[in-house]
Amino acid sequence: MLELKASDPVVDPINSRMLDEALSKAHVRHVYHPFHGCRHGGSLGRDGAEGWFDEAVSFLKEIDG
């Protein structure tokens, strides 16, 4: 699961977009979800990223079969 914090001052969000494009091009199953208004790391569902943990668990269950 690829999480993007659109206002991340630590890592340029373009890096996440580039990784998403590369994974898509290589046909790698993944989830790309941009979250807006979040801090870098440690948000854990605060600052507009509510639901990310449940989404990650659902994705992992889906790919684990």
Give domain limits for the chain.
2-64
Average pLDDT over residues 6-32: 86
SS3 sequence of 20-48: HHHHHHCCCCCCEEEECCCCCCCCCCCCC
- Which band of pLDDT confidence, cut at 50, 70 and 90, is reported for residue 52? confident
Residues contacting 61, CB < 8 A, separation 6+: none
Question: What pLDDT, on a 0 to 100 scale, did the predictor assign at position 61?
Answer: 92
Question: What pLDDT, on a 0 to 100 scale, did the predictor assign at position 32?
Answer: 85
DSSP 8-state symbol, 1:
-
Q: How far apart are CA 62 and CA 64, in angstroms?
A: 6
- Which band of pLDDT confidence, cut at 50, 70 and 90, is reported for residue 39? low
Q: How far apart are CA 37 and CA 64, in angstroms?
A: 31
Question: What pLDDT, on a 0 to 100 scale, did the predictor assign at position 25?
Answer: 98
